[in-house]
Structure formats: C-alpha cells, structure tokens
Amino acid sequence: MLEAGGALRTYRLELPPGRLLQRSTTAMRIPDHPPKFLSYQGSVNKGLGSVQIVDSGTYQLLSETGELLQLEMEGKVLRGRFRLAHIEGDRWKFGRCQDNAKVQ
C-alpha cells in the first residue's frame, strides 16, 4: 500500500517482502483502501479474507509515468530503490531497481 492523496494505492504481491530483495514479482492493482488499513490486521470482506502487516515504513516517489513508478523505500524489510512497471490491465511487475539505481 502506498499512501497517496488521502487514500492507499494498493497492490497484491505474489511474494512476501523478504523474498523481494532478490527477485521481482507480479503485483495486482486492487482498489484503493482507506488510510486505516495502514495499521489494521484482521478479517476483511465479512470474513472471506484477512490482512496482515508484513512491512511498514516510508517511501518517496522518485518518478511516475502512466507505466512506471520509481520509489525509494525505507521499510523494515524493503529498503532502497524499487519500481512498479505496468504489464497489462491490473498487472504490474514489482522489484528492486538493478544495482539500486534508477530504472531507465
């Protein structure tokens, strides 16, 4: 979840944050969430699912186009430069920038 303009841009990642330090993963863009989800853990969708906090921290948006977001992340697990690159539809690719430098 990325806090932006009073809402949380939300992506469902296929892998937990600890595994994203060495490889990329698919990120599915799902509807924005209210800010209360930054600290909420528990049941969602009337018990059909659950949410758990697996990392927390801050980020800085370095650049954004319609197809690419570049982020500097300062989380407990994810630290450094990462990117979200649009694949198609709601599918994005999330991963660390190569050599922790900006993606071209």
Residue closest to 11 by CA, chosen among 25, 48, 80 = 25
Residue closest to 82 by CA, chosen among 52, 10, 64, 53 = 64
| Model confidence at 103: pLDDT above 70 | no
pTM of the predicted structure, to 2 decimals: 0.83
Cβ(47)–Cβ(54) below 8 Å:
no
Number of domains, the chain: 1
In tens, the pLDDT along 9-66 reads 999 999 989 898 889 999 999 999 999 888 988 998 888 888 888 899 999 999 999 8
Tokens representing 74 are 């300062």
Rounded CA gap, 22 and 58, in Å? Answer: 20
Measured CA angle at 38 (ends 59, 83), to 5 deg:
30
In tens, the pLDDT along 58-88 reads 999 999 998 999 999 999 999 999 999 999 9
Residue 74: domain span: 2-100
